[in-house]
Structure 1
Amino acid sequence: MKLEILLAFGFSLFVDSKPLSNIGGRKFNKLLLISFDGFRWNYDQDVDTPNLDKLVQEGVKAKYITPPMITMTSPSHFTTITGRWIEDHGVVHNMMFNSTTLLKLSHKATLKRSEWWDNGALPLWITAQNQGLKTASYFYPGGGVSYAGQSVNRSLVETFGHADDNETEWREKIDTVMGWYTKDDFDFVTLYYGEPDNVGHRVGPETPQRKKIIEQIDRTIGYLTESIQKNNLTDHLNVIITSDHGMTTIKKSPEVEEIKLSNYINFKNLSHFELLDYGGFGMLRPRKGKEQEVFDALKHAHPNLTVYKKEDIPEHFHIAKNSRIQDLVLIGDLGFNLNSRYIFYVNKGDHSFSNQEMDMKVIFRAFGPDFKKNVLAEPFDSVSIYPLMCKLLGVKPAPNNGSLSDTEVMLVNDIGGNAGRMQMSISLFATTILILAVI
């Protein structure tokens, strides 16, 4: 009789204490981070987005989040995955460059160049792997290189000429990622989509084409939630959806006087190296001994241009302390692109303007078993996504500049609690054996 009681009681304990996920006894759920490049914070407010709207009820929405000061794809994505400011992680531009050799490489050419990304700040993939987790990256910037000799367990890197707007492929990506979780038991995956950035550049943010791509994104979110249910991951997978920067309409002549720096300086005589013609953020290294002359020529050159000497860059930009930042930093007012010698810029929309501009702010949505429901969170800096992800994964964070206090309000109180209850139940089961043995 005692054995029957013992077995029945023990069975009830284990049924009640089912672990959160089948990830090798770990007590934390899996995590998926999705980035939609160039998804401005309010892009869903003038479009019918039933699936994104549903996520607001079933999870968390932040009013908006603020990307780092250099509102470009590579710097911003790397801030999210490292939790470090740009001056700390060193990815200061989309282009890989060397101001001594005059090397310049395009964004996609950098995606397999470890020397551009590996500057001492470990991304979450590597930190998580060092603590026993399996991680993967699907097109996420920085996921295809090695860090101190370590590579992401599995990575796919976007190639030149890749079509970013193929809806069928978008769904295939989700199918692949679901397989990584269910068949290969990955714990943390980052997934990147190149839209709505491309549409925003090509035709501008305030266009029917942009609204159409947001509708496509919304359908993809619907497909994602269906796939999570289909793969029995609803109770085991947390999802964060965010972006790297916003988008604004570029101001063009004759409506405005565009910024053309060759009107004010002679590049041949005064410039050693420059990164310009790339939106509203630029850098310039004058020839030796010409620094003050160039600064004086540019500081009042155009009413919509601000120029900083490196030593005078405001501290809250969090960019000045990195050696890759050049002698002069140039910032255009919202919508004013920085043209160097000629105005040949064809983009209708762009980013890389100050992160304090509302057009540069981005979305944040999150849902899953560890997130509260129907929560509207206050704005926060994207650097704080990192400690949130560490908390969700049970990872001890590497040094970072984020703050968990920015996001704690989003979370349920017992992350990892079910697994903890399972451990307690095992102890309780052992105690029961002793008690029944004495009876």
Structure 2
Amino acid sequence: MISIRFPIAALSCALLAACASSPAPVAPSPTPPTVLLLSIDGLRADMLDSGNSPNLSRLAREGVRSVGMRPSYPSLTFPNHYTLVTGLRPDRHGMVHNSMNTDALGNFRVESREAVRNPAWWEGGEPLWVSVEKAGYKSATWSWPGSEAPIHGLQAQQRHPYDDSVPLPERMQQVLSWLEGTPDAIKPRFVAAYMEHVDKAGHRYGPDSPEYTAALRQVDAAIGLLIDGMAADGSLDNTNIIVVSDHGMATVKQDQVITPADMIAPELARTVSVGQSIGFAPLPGKHAEAEKALLGRHAHYQCWNKAQLPTRWHYGHNPRVPPIICQMDEGWDAVTPAMRAKRAPGNSGSHGYDPALPSMQAVFVARGPAFAQGKQLSAFDNVDVYPLLTRLIGIPAQPNDGDPKALEQALRVSDM
């Protein structure tokens, strides 16, 4: 047996050489800044120039804003909130209206907690908080439409259901506590929060009313509290804040209201959805009569077969879309007799009109380490927000309808 011995000095040199040739340890990638998505339901884009939202104006000065953001059709709350977090138009994700009906699922109404919490209505898309959880990160939601249902079996780890009795300062304190991190010091990668106050005031009093302005000031003050809290705890400069709305708001004069029965006899078609985008389902054997009564141009609305809707609306293929869609002219509503009877005297407000209208343009404001400063963007489609959000969060985007390059101009050069 041959014994081989290395001198200690030689062995030391060999070990040093091996260490020198080994790759240096790779430093872990820094955690991307948290993404905070805030929605102000019903805030029209041009209201940012009214002088009634100093905190939103501050975010715009320190970041970017758009002159407008086009909602998806129909320009309603639930369809567009789900579009913002899935990147899919309503015709693809299946939340095609605030009110729907299918043989399998029955009726969907936004005021029905049972329907809102039924995942079967939502599983045509994968919202951001689900994608974040799948990626192994944390997320948090404050009553964002869709967040109360376990979609694909998942919900945000931290969440609060819709509750309009919770004051705005209390909501913002909850959001701030999420941004500060949980006891285990792990912050959510994505936080989404919803505020309904401007929309409610707009519907009741109209967008030109003092009440609408007061609601905007109230929401803006709450955002100011949140910003100040973030500045105090050091999270402001490490958070990408995006403030959006789902749609704008148009004035509806007191006498510019009809009912579905004014459009077609109930013996010919069943009313599926009301408001501004009206859905009708002809009764058995009455299809030809229903089409004759509805299709085409009328005094205050126009109707189409679902397969013949304007192409730019990207709408009509989903089986949840009723066979006949009637679109009200701006400033006109079609509601049930009971809803009409409850309307208070005076002007009111509505949305749900053609997304191309100036009155329907939504808000987009963004501020944070990823965003340029003091830049104004031209109008874009709201489906383009989703690929921006996935990029900021640092997760792969699911198949979507957005353009990943549409909002690159909003980013700092180093982030492009």
**What is the one-letter code of the residue matched to 1:297?**
A
> Residue 280 of structure 1 contacts residue 351 of structure 1 at CA under 8 Å; is this kept in 2?
yes
CA distance in 2, matches of 1:200, 1:173: 26
Judged with a 3 Å threshold, the aligned counterparts in structure 2 of structure 1 residues 235 and 200 are, in CA distance, closer, same or farther, namely same
Partner of 2:367: 367
The answer on 1:344 being equivalent to 2:341 is yes
CA distance in 2, matches of 1:181, 1:43: 36
CA distance in 1, matches of 2:199, 2:153: 32
Matches within 5 A, 1:163-178: 163=165, 166-178=167-179
Task: Give the match's secondary structure for 1:414.
Answer: helix
CA distance in 1, matches of 2:85, 2:270: 33
Partner of 1:419: none
**What is the one-letter code of the residue matched to 2:86?**
T
CA distance in 2, matches of 1:176, 1:97: 39
CA distance in 2, matches of 1:108, 1:361: 28
Choose from 70, 92, 115 the match for 2:120: 115
Partner of 2:413: 413
TM-score by length of 2: 0.86
CA distance in 1, matches of 2:77, 2:35: 22
Judged with a 3 Å threshold, the aligned counterparts in structure 2 of structure 1 residues 218 and 101 are, in CA distance, closer, same or farther, namely closer
> Residue 384 of structure 1 contacts residue 403 of structure 1 at CA under 8 Å; is this kept in 2?
yes
Q: Structure 2 unaligned runs (5+)? A: 1-26
Partner of 2:15: none
RMSD (Å) for aligned C-alpha atoms: 2.3
Partner of 2:84: 80
The answer on 1:282 being equivalent to 2:284 is no
The answer on 1:127 being equivalent to 2:131 is yes
> Residue 47 of structure 1 contacts residue 215 of structure 1 at CA under 8 Å; is this kept in 2?
no
Deviations for 1:244-303, whole angstroms, at most 9, x for unmatched residues? 1111111332xx5x4344235320x21245222xx2111010112312211211235731
User: 1:405 offset after TM fit, Å?
Assistant: 1.5
Choose from 197, 200, 204 the match for 2:199: 197
Partner of 1:327: 323
**What is the one-letter code of the residue matched to 1:332?**
M
31-40 or 96-105: bigger deviation: 96-105
CA distance in 2, matches of 1:405, 1:377: 13
Task: Give the match's secondary structure for 1:51.
Answer: helix
Matches within 5 A, 1:197-236: 197-236=199-238
Partner of 1:265: 264
Deviations for 1:42-87, whole angstroms, at most 9, x for unmatched residues? 1232233322222222100111101111111110000000000111
> Residue 140 of structure 1 contacts residue 192 of structure 1 at CA under 8 Å; is this kept in 2?
yes
User: 1:340 offset after TM fit, Å?
Assistant: 5.1
CA distance in 1, matches of 2:155, 2:360: 31
Q: Structure 1 unaligned runs (5+)? A: 1-18, 417-439
**Identity over aligned pairs, percent:** 27
Choose from 305, 313, 316 the match for 2:301: 305
CA distance in 1, matches of 2:127, 2:356: 25
User: 1:323 offset after TM fit, Å?
Assistant: 0.6
Partner of 1:239: 241
> Residue 118 of structure 1 contacts residue 146 of structure 1 at CA under 8 Å; is this kept in 2?
no
> Residue 98 of structure 2 contacts residue 108 of structure 2 at CA under 8 Å; is this kept in 1?
no
User: 1:345 offset after TM fit, Å?
Assistant: 5.7
> Residue 196 of structure 1 contacts residue 214 of structure 1 at CA under 8 Å; is this kept in 2?
yes
Aligned residues: 384
Choose from 52, 55, 61 the match for 1:57: 61
